[in-house]
Structure 1
Amino acid sequence: MKAVVITTPGGPEVLKLQEVEEPKVKDDDVLIRVEATALNGADTLIRQGKETPPKGVSEYLGLECSGTIEAVGKNVSRWKVGDQVCALISGGGYAEKVAVPSGQILPIPSGVSLKDAASFPEVACTVWSTVFMTSKLSSGETFLIHGGSSGIGTFAIQMAKYLGIKVFVTAGSEEKLKACKELGADVGINYKTEDFVARVKEETGGKGVDVILDNIGGAYFQKNLESLGMDGRLFIIGFMGGVKAEANISFILAKRLTVQGAGLRTRRLEKKGEIVSEVEKNVWPAIEQGKVKPVVYNYFPLSEAGEAHKLMETSTHIGKILLLA
């Protein structure tokens, strides 16, 4: 089969489509012929050599995919050859075929094309496991999403609105804020021209928000503590603004705050299976009702993975960028 290979750590130009060995299918796996895969921030970090894949996972990039099942392991009962599915994977999506543990497979939601379904597994599992399963964000609460126009952000806005939550977002341009509002965001804050702490306080009557989903990290840590209300929850999923912070942690005690962080990729198979199951139960109905839609900015063939990475690194896109196998 063909897969996108990192020839040497570096810029987008190091990604090359090459002939490689097909993946081996274990007893609990299914083999998917890939229709599409989506770009994620971790892909660019691995390409640059700043991050390494967990031991034992595919050496190829790609954390989610959609496609058609081509083979099933002997222990697999739910899925069969010919089923159209999408999947949360630990690697290997930038290829024509990928082997996936059967517990990480999802059916294609009705009303969504096979290729666009590749935009959902990673964002749905990330947002549902962090904000809803762990931070217990619920109807009537307030929610601040940093990077509202990202793949994570565009999904989180729609899911939160579906569940009756007031949504605040930060983004770096009026165009991105407009897109967020069209998806349902209630309050848009341009972080380049506004102080988001002051705006959050103003919009909440000084109380602050209940939950923050943050991919910035160090640069926003103190501001996030100030933006949360009593019993607020901060969930950190990225470090685009660095890993170090100096903060007044008295806010944590005074407001009974909870600060948490997690990544999907390094979780145990059993936990990933549990998250995928919860996503199918809680998120898939929203998609099938048309309340949560795929937000895809552009499509590239696998052979142009480098061009797709260049686009991602400009940060001009809104939503997801997909590669078609």
Structure 2
Amino acid sequence: MNVIDAVKSWFSSSSEEPKVTIPVFKDNEVLIKVWAVGVNRDDIVDVATSVGFFHPGFECSGIIEAVGRNASCWKVGERVCAILEGGGYAEQVAVPADFLLPLPDDIDLDDAAGLPYASCCIWSALFKMQTPDMLKDKIILIHEGFNGIGPLAIQYAKYMGLKVIVCTGNRDKLIIDDYGADFCVDCTSRNFASEALKEIGSLGFDIVLDYGFSELERNITWCKIGGNVVIVYLGGDNDIGTIDLLALRHMHIAVKVTNLRHKDFDYKASVIAGLRADLWPAVLEKVHHRFPASEAQQAFDCLKKKDSVGKIIVRMDLEKSTMDLEKSSGHFKMQ
């Protein structure tokens, strides 16, 4: 029985109030009262491929309720967001102190829930191997600029001084006006990269940011000498690509693939530290889709759509969600 079936079974058979123990937190951890959870591609991949139990929920926002003895840098009552090892769809979570980020006063808890995972992915993709000064005035092509982490990648890239070209569909005005891209190209056009390079007067891109391997060969050809193709791998069936090794050698092009989900503790902690130092002052992204916990399935379905804009969160108002689920457990049925 998986987690969804277990939840359905409990709500349909139990007449008693559930008794769930408070998570045990270690000396280097804090206990967070979860306000909302960000919905990410890894939630869908885990749901679709796991055998038995799975634990989606890799980022959240909330209020610190307790602090371990070695986590005194944080205080009870602070508003925070965090990356998680999974299990974010809960009332409370225990989180390593090094995985937390403080919230500016002008960022609400809903928006914050969709920030940490995407922000870490962007920082590790663009800044883990390069200093911010090395990126200033470089030209970056961002695929899928309106979807998932795209809008946040645009804003962070602009904040760091890059010239941002976005590959998108019919949302040019939104991407330029709301997120600050310098130029948009229609991804349905056969020669969209050549058109963009001609428009900006460049022989190639310094960086191409993509989320899979299907365009890998073309991404390489669009780079200038010494360019970088960076893949934030978000999972996907049959997502393969080819590499022309001669082109890599002659053009001195580097291909980098990053996936935060499967990195170890030290790597994630270093990404959080770098993100906080380099990019956290620029947190600007707003959540575009909010769902109550009882409609988590709809949140997953929304993420699967290619035309959704920005981040998606699930608000963990569990008292109301419990009543909704008791009425209709079908909300959690996986298709």
CA distance in 1, matches of 2:315, 2:274: 27
Task: Flag structure 1 segments of 5+ consecutive residues without an equivalent.
Answer: 9-13, 288-292
Cα–Cα, structure 1 residues 278 and 268, in superposed 2: closer, same or farther, change >3 Å? Answer: same
Within 5 Å, give how 1:1-325 maps onto structure 2. 5-7=3-5, 22-49=22-49, 59-136=54-131, 138-171=135-168, 173-175=169-171, 177-182=172-177, 183-205=179-201, 207-217=203-213, 219-238=214-233, 239-240=235-236, 242-287=238-283, 293-325=284-316
Cα–Cα, structure 1 residues 167 and 270, in superposed 2: closer, same or farther, change >3 Å? Answer: same
CA distance in 1, matches of 2:208, 2:202: 16
Report the Cα offset of residue 203 of structure 1. 3.2
- Give the letter aligned to residue 72 of structure 2: S
- Whichever of the two has the greater Rg, that structure is 2
Select between 149-158 and 199-208 the one with higher mean Cα deviation. Answer: 199-208
Task: Identify, as 1 or 2, the structure richer in strand.
Answer: 1
Select between 141-150 and 180-189 the one with higher mean Cα deviation. Answer: 180-189
Report the Cα offset of residue 113 of structure 1. 0.8
Cα–Cα, structure 1 residues 42 and 245, in superposed 2: closer, same or farther, change >3 Å? Answer: same
Report the Cα offset of residue 240 of structure 1. 4.6
Report the Cα offset of residue 22 of structure 1. 4.2
CA distance in 1, matches of 2:195, 2:38: 33
Task: Flag structure 2 segments of 5+ consecutive residues without an equivalent.
Answer: 12-17, 317-335
Task: Identify, as 1 or 2, the structure richer in helix.
Answer: 2
Instruction: Give CA-to-partner distance per residue, 1:192-215, whole Å, 9 cap, x none.
Output: 234333224323535110011110
2:83–2:117 CA contact under 8 A, matched in 1: yes
Q: What TM-score do the two structures reach when normalised by structure 2?
A: 0.83
Corresponding position of 2:331: none
- Give the letter aligned to residue 5 of structure 1: V
2:154–2:180 CA contact under 8 A, matched in 1: yes
Cα–Cα, structure 1 residues 135 and 258, in superposed 2: closer, same or farther, change >3 Å? Answer: farther
- Give the letter aligned to residue 243 of structure 1: D
1:200–1:209 CA contact under 8 A, matched in 2: no
Instruction: Give CA-to-partner distance per residue, 1:170-201, whole Å, 9 cap, x none.
Output: 12x313x3321121111212212343332243
2:110–2:287 CA contact under 8 A, matched in 1: no
- Give the letter aligned to residue 248 of structure 2: I
1:119–1:322 CA contact under 8 A, matched in 2: yes
Q: How many positions carry a matched residue from both structures?
A: 304
Select between 81-90 and 17-26 the one with higher mean Cα deviation. Answer: 17-26
CA distance in 2, matches of 1:278, 1:174: 34
SS, match of residue 225 in structure 1:
helix
Question: Identity over aligned residues, as a percent?
Answer: 34
1:151–1:295 CA contact under 8 A, matched in 2: no
Q: Alpha carbon RMSD of aligned pairs, Å? A: 2.5
Report the Cα offset of residue 149 of structure 1. 0.9
Cα–Cα, structure 1 residues 90 and 107, in superposed 2: closer, same or farther, change >3 Å? Answer: same
Report the Cα offset of residue 73 of structure 1. 2.0
CA distance in 1, matches of 2:173, 2:294: 32
Instruction: Give CA-to-partner distance per residue, 1:75-122, whole Å, 9 cap, x none.
Output: 211112221111111211122111111100111123111221112101
Select between 58-67 and 156-165 the one with higher mean Cα deviation. Answer: 58-67
1:144–1:209 CA contact under 8 A, matched in 2: yes
SS, match of residue 281 in structure 1:
helix
